Amino acid sequence: MKAWLSHHRQSAALAWRRIAATPVNSLLSLLAIGIALALPAGGQMLLSAARQLAGTASAVPQISVFMAATADRAMANDVRARLQQQPGVKQLQFLAREETLARMKASGGLREVIEALPANPFPDAFVVGVRDERPEAMEKLATELRKLAGVEHVQLDSAWVRRLDALLKLGRSALLLLASLLGCGLVAISFGIIRMQVLTQRAEIELSRLLGATEAYVRRPFLYHGSLLGLGGGLVAWLLVAASTLWLRAPLAELAGMYEINLVLKGLDGIETGLLLSFAALLGWLGAVFSLRQTLQD
C-alpha cells in the first residue's frame, strides 16, 4: 500500500515535470483547453443571469383572479381567506373595484369613456403570486381557483411562462450540446498530447516492462499527465470566466438599470468551480485512457 501510494506520488511528480519541461507547448495546450471549457462555463453564467432576470422582471408569472360583477365584498373576503389557505399561493394582492376604477380614471386616455358608464364595470380582483412557476403547476393551481364560489374568471399568464421556460430549456440544451462538443475537443487534445508523450517515452516504457513494470505502473504517469492537463485547462477556464464577469458586470448592470431591473452578473460559485475543475480533470484523464489504449497496443 505504501509503495502504491509512493508510486502515485512519483507518477504525479513525473507528469508535472514533463509538463514543465515544455513550457510553451504546455501553456498553449492549457490555453486551448481553457478556452474550450470557458465557453460552456461562461454560457452557464449567462444562463444564471437570464434566470435572475426572469425572477426580477416585473412580468413574473402570476395568476389574476376576477370576481363576478355581482359578487359583494363579503364574497371577496371569503375568496381571499380561501386563497390564503392555498399552499401554492406565495403572495396575494387584492385590487378593490373602486381602486381599479380610480386608477383607470387617473390613467388619462379612458377617463371620458369610464365616466360615461352608468356603473363601475370593474370587478374585485386578486393578483396571485405563485410558489411553483412551472407551467403545469400554475395550470393546476388555476384549476383549483376556478372552483371558488364567486370567482368569474381566472387568467393565467401561461403563455409567457411557457415561452420563458422554453427559452431557458433551449438555452440549457444548447449549452449541453456546446459542452459536449467542446468536451470531446478536450479529450482529443489530451489524446494527442499523451500519444506524443508515449512515443517520446517509448524506450523507457519498453525498458520498464523488461524490468518488471506492470501495465498499471507504465500507464500511471500518463494518466496523471492527462488529468493535470485537464485540471490546468479548467483553472485557465475559471480565470477566463472570472475575468469576463468582472469585465461585463458594470456595463450589464448599467443596461439593466435602464429597464429598472436589478441585475448583478455573478461568477461561478464554489460548487460550480469544483464541478468545472473535476469535469476538466476527468476529460483529460479520459483522453489519456483512450490514447494509452491505442498507442500502447500499437
Partner 1 sequence: MIRFDRVSKRYPPGVDALLDLSFEVGDGKMLLVGGHSGAGKSTLLKLIAGIEKSTSGAVLVGGQNLGSLAPSALPYYRRRIGMVFQDQKLLFDRSVFENVMLPLSISGFPPREAGSRVRAALDKVGLGKREKALPIMLSGGEQQRLAIARAVVGRPDLLLADEPTAHLDADTASDVARIFLEFNRVGVSLLVATHVHELFPGGDRLMLDHGRRVG
Residues contributing to the site for partner 1 (CB under 8 A): 2-4, 6-7, 10, 203-204, 206-214, 217
Nearer to partner 1, 72 or 206 (CB): 206
b or e along 269-290 (b: 16 or more beta carbons within 10 Å of the residue's beta carbon)?
eeebbeebbebbbbbbbbbbbb
Nearer to partner 1, 98 or 215 (CB): 215
Rounded to a whole number of angstroms, the minimum distance from the CB of residue 292 to partner 1 is: 17
Q: Minimal distance in Å, beta carbon 217 to partner 1?
A: 6
User: Taking Cα atoms as reference points, which of 168, 177, 206, 153 lies closest to residue 54?
Assistant: 168
Residue closer to partner 1 by CB (options 59, 199) is 199
Question: Which one, 10 or 56, has the nearer CB to partner 1?
Answer: 10
**In the complex, least distance from residue 2 CB atom to partner 1, rounded to whole angstroms:** 7
Q: Are residues 196 and 294 in contact, defined by beta-carbon separation less than 8 angstroms?
A: no
Helix (H) or strand (E) holding 214: none
CB of 297 to partner 1, least distance (A): 14
The secondary element (H helix, E strand) that includes residue 156 is strand 151-156
Q: Of the two residues 248 and 296, which places its CB atom closer to partner 1 in the complex?
A: 296
Q: Which residue has cell 483547453?
A: 33
Work out how close the CB of 204 gets to partner 1 at its nearest, in angstroms, rounded to a whole number.
Answer: 6
Are residues 152 and 63 in contact, defined by beta-carbon separation less than 8 angstroms? no
User: Cell for 282?
Assistant: 476527468
